[in-house]
Structure formats: C-alpha cells, structure tokens
C-alpha cells in the first residue's frame, strides 16, 4: 500500500486521448493538459510532436509497447500513474486515439479512484474513424452503410472467438472496423466469410494513418491475406471491411497532397519556423522542428553602446537597409527599449532585401522605397545603384553573423555604412532525442537550411548529442538551401545540395521541395 508522504498533497492525473497520430488532431483540452503537467506518460501511438507543448522542465516517461516487446506492463503503468500523483505531480497520461476505445483507461482510472487520486478522462479522436477518413474512406455512407462496429483484432483466435459473436457482427452492421488486427487478418477474413459475408466484400488496411508513414492496401475478404503478406504490411493498422472502402478510389485526398510521405527537418530558429512548418503541413508533409540557432539581444557593453549611439543619431541617416525579418524585429525592440521615436528617422529612405522583410516593415506602417528583384543582400545594391549618392549615411541593423559584402560595396561607392548588431545568433541548446532517432532511422526525407549558420550549427548540435560523424548521419537526405550562399556553406561541409529555389524565399523553398518530391514519387 502506498503511503502519502507527510506534507505532500496528492497530484492529479489527466487521461488524455492524443488522437490517431497527426498532432493537430488532438483536442484543445488535451493540449491544455499537456502544457500544464509536471510529467507526461506516453506511448508510441501518441505523436512525439505533441511533447513540444510541455512546459520547461516537465518529465517525459515512455511506456509504449512495440510488436516484439512490452516496454512496461499495463499493471506497472497503472501503478506508475498512482505513484507520480502521490508525489504531488500533475500527470498527463497520453494515449493514442481515444482512451476509452481499447485504451484500457478503465483500469488506469479505477486504480486512481481506489487510491483517492483525482483524475479526468479527456476524449480523443479515435483512429477507428480518423484513419479511414485520411485514406478517403468514410465509415458510414447513406447509400452504403448506416451502421458501424469497432472491434479489437489484437487477441489470439481463441480469445477473438470468445469476445466476438461472428454471426451477429457479420450480419448486423454495415461497416466493420478492426483495430490492431494485422497479424490476424487471414483468420478475421475467414470467419467473416464463414458467417455470411460475401468473399468479394472490399477490405482496406491503413498503416500509421494520419502520419507521414501512412500506407494503404486494399483487396477483398478472399484476397486480402495474400495482399498483406506480399506487401509485408506491418502493424499498427486499422482494418476496414465493407462497401465504404470503394469510396477510396474517389475520395483519397491526403495521399494526393504534394508532400505526402515527406518529413522535413526545419533547422531555423523556432520563432521563425512557424510559417515554414505551416506550409509543409498544408501540402501534406510533416514538419520536424529542430532549431539549431537562437537569436537574442547582444549583452556585450561595447555592442550595446554602439547600437545606442547609432540610433541616437537617427536624423543623420539617408537610408536604413534591412536584410532580414529579424533585423526589423530587433531594430524596433531597440527603439522601444531606448525610447527612440521612429519619426526621428524622417530623412531616411528604406530598403529591404526581400518580400518577407518588406512585409514585416509594412506591419509597422513603413513601406519600402526599394525592393530587389532577387532576394539576396548582394542583389540589393544593383537595385539601389540609381538611388545612391556619394556621401550618404546608411544604417544597417543586422545580426552579428551578417556578411560584409553590403557594407564593403557601399563604402566603395562613397557612402558611409553604419553597422549595428541589433541581434546575435547563438547555438541552440537542443537535446531533442526524438529527432535524433528519426535521423538514425533514416525517417527524415528533407533538411532545410535558411542560413549558413543553420548548417554549421546543425553539425555542432549533433556532435554535442553524441553523434561522432554528423556528415555520415545526414547522407542520403535531400538538402534544401534557401539561396546560393547557404548552399555553398552546405557543400563546403560535405553535403550534397539537391534542392535550391530560384527565388531565395520561404515560399520559393517550399515550392522547390514540393516539385522535387513529386519527381521522386513519379
């Protein structure tokens, strides 16, 4: 019997359905439970990407079961939840799909109740419905099926016969959905035919539905076992039996997306990765955020003084040239911090290196005077040449790793560039073991680099995580670089750059990745 430690209050356990795999299919309540907990207990049917919602310092406990071994017995998981709660912790038990559908939530909740521990059951989207939907199979249809049965297929044939009344199931419902029954597909098909289902009844198996690894095979009750064997089709998978499977031919929407089946590693700073991640998801891919750089305000006294001095000479500048969104954001942060009114730069014209930088300025009510046709800092001068006058002063709010081409060329033309490091780029403290495992399993298909620093820092982060030869780990993965400067850095590091857009923008990069992946698929 557990004894509550003196002075400690009991915690609470949230039994949360994580949905079928796509992390965006978790409920808002489920996401809240993850973000507030002290420890999350999860298995392999819950997307690791959901763990990004954890608060700093939250503990992660993996208790998932694999087909060939059990990491932790169910009784031990039940007791673990009790023990953690008795330590006064807020616990989220994250379970794939819905916890009440073959999720054994009743056993976990009962032990919590017996120990006087408060708990909540948070429903999730069950794989029995979501996975077929992602394969283009609605489980009900007005003309094909008006009822649905969800059946476990994980038991041995003897237990299946004890828990399933084959004659009633076969004849009493329209669509049959079996969860966890890949290894028993032959026996399931045999029993359904034996009890009255036509041998030509359509069947579909969807493996890892809603995820980048989703794979679907179809056949009939008569043929499906051989099809599964020939395809070496492995669990976990959802089995759908019924005429609704025919809808897949017209309705398969997810697998037709340009980036379906593609996992893309994003290495840029987390604050800048959201746009890229959203575009990847829209096109059917899976973004894997692995920031290897962080940006921050400089703290070195000399740098801070130089920024302060330059901004206090606002009236003397003829130009402000922005070469990144970060430059814009930190420039305005400094103005706010130093209480400097933007109107003091009334004399200055504004140039930006690309549309995203220009857009960041427009959001602040400033419209650029010059925007280059090509979106590289080197090309900005070509667009500016007819506007520049010898003797003009140019403010360059940039990062500490900015290239020297622009200030050097401005000097050569007789202008006075004033460079200020409004932000600095540092190595991210990233210890994402889930991402490292994906790389080791060759489950990452594309790596994106949006700057030279992301290239060099990825190698350094991997070394810090214990990877002896990062270059070897990254071999065979498509390398996508936003522009020629970044591509050169990647090639100098030994990587083979396979994707590079004509326009050095995030949109251009995504389009180039999608085009490349379509070539792979065809």
How many other CB atoms sit within 10 Å of the CB of residue 252? Answer: 15
Q: Which residue has the tokens 């992301």?
A: 454
| 89-118 confidence digits (pLDDT tens) | 999 999 999 999 988 899 999 999 999 999
| Distance from C-alpha of 54 to C-alpha of 37, rounded to nearest angstrom | 7
Mean pLDDT score, 400-413: 89
Say what the pLDDT of residue 1 is. Answer: 40
For tokens 């009334």, the residue is 346
User: pTM for the full model?
Assistant: 0.81
| Both tokens assigned to 60 | 């992660």
pLDDT exceeds cutoff 60 at 399: yes
Q: How many CA atoms lie within 13 A of 370 on its CB side?
A: 22
Q: What is the pLDDT of residues 227-265, one digit of tens each?
A: 999 999 999 899 999 999 999 999 999 999 999 999 999
Give, in order, the Cα–Cα distances in Å from 385 to each of 81, 322, 409, 503.
67, 16, 11, 21
- Over residues 450-479, the pLDDT tens digits come to 999 999 999 999 999 999 999 999 999 999
Instruction: Catalogue the active-site residues.
Output: 43, 65, 180
Confidence class for position 65, pLDDT limits 50, 70, 90: low
DSSP-derived letter for residue 482 is: S
């Amino acid at each position: 019997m557990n004894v509550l430690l003196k002075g400690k209050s009991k915690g609470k356990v949230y039994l949360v359905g994580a949905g079928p795999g796509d992390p965006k299919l978790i409920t808002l309540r489920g996401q809240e439970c993850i973000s507030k907990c002290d420890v999350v207990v999860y298995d392999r049917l819950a997307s690791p990407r959901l763990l990004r919602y954890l608060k700093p310092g939250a503990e992660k406990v993996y208790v998932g079961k694999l087909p060939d071994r059990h990491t932790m017995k169910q009784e031990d998981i039940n007791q673990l939840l009790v023990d953690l709660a008795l330590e006064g912790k807020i616990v989220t038990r994250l379970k794939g799909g819905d916890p009440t559908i073959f999720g054994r939530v009743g056993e976990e909740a009962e032990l919590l109740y017996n120990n006087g521990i408060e708990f909540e059951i948070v429903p999730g989207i069950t794989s029995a419905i979501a996975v077929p939907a992602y394969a283009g199979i609605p489980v009900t249809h007005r003309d094909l099926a008006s009822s649905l049965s969800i059946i476990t297929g994980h038991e041995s044939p003897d237990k299946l016969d004890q828990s399933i009344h084959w004659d009633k199931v076969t004849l009493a419902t329209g669509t049959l959905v079996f969860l966890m029954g890949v290894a028993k597909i032959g026996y399931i098909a045999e029993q359904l035919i034996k009890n009255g289902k036509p041998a030509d009844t359509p069947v579909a198996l969807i493996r890892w539905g809603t995820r980048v690894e989703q794979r679907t095979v179809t056949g009939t009750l008569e043929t499906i076992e051989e099809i599964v064997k020939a395809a070496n089709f492995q669990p976990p998978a959802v089995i759908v039996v019924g005429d609704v499977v025919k809808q897949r031919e017209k309705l398969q929407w997810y697998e037709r997306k340009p980036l379906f089946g593609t996992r893309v590693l994003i290495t840029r700073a987390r604050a800048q990765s959201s746009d890229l991640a959203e575009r990847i998801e829209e096109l059917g891919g899976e973004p894997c955020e692995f920031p290897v750089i962080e940006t921050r305000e400089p703290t070195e006294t000399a740098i801070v003084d130089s920024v302060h001095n330059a901004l206090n000479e606002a009236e003397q500048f003829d130009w402000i040239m922005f070469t990144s969104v970060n430059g814009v954001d930190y420039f305005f942060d400094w103005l706010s911090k130093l209480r400097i009114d933007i109107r003091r730069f009334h004399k200055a014209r504004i140039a930006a290196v690309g549309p995203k930088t220009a857009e960041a300025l427009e959001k602040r009510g400033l419209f650029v005077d010059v925007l280059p046709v090509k979106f590289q800092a080197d090309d900005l001068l070509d667009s500016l040449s007819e506007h520049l006058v010898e003797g003009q002063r140019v403010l360059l709010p940039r990062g500490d790793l900015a290239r020297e081409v622009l200030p050097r060329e401005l000097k050569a033309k007789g202008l006075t560039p004033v460079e200020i490091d409004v932000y600095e780029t540092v190595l991210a403290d990233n210890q994402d073991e889930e991402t490292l495992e994906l790389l080791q399993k060759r489950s990452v298909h594309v790596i994106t680099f949006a700057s030279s620093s992301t290239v060099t820092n990825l190698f350094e982060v991997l070394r810090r995580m214990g990877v002896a030869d990062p270059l070897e780990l990254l071999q065979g993965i498509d390398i996508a670089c936003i522009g020629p400067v970044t591509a050169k850095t990647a090639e100098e590091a030994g990587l083979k750059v396979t994707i590079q857009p004509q326009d050095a923008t995030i949109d251009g990069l995504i389009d180039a990745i999608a085009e490349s992946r379509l070539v792979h698929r065809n």
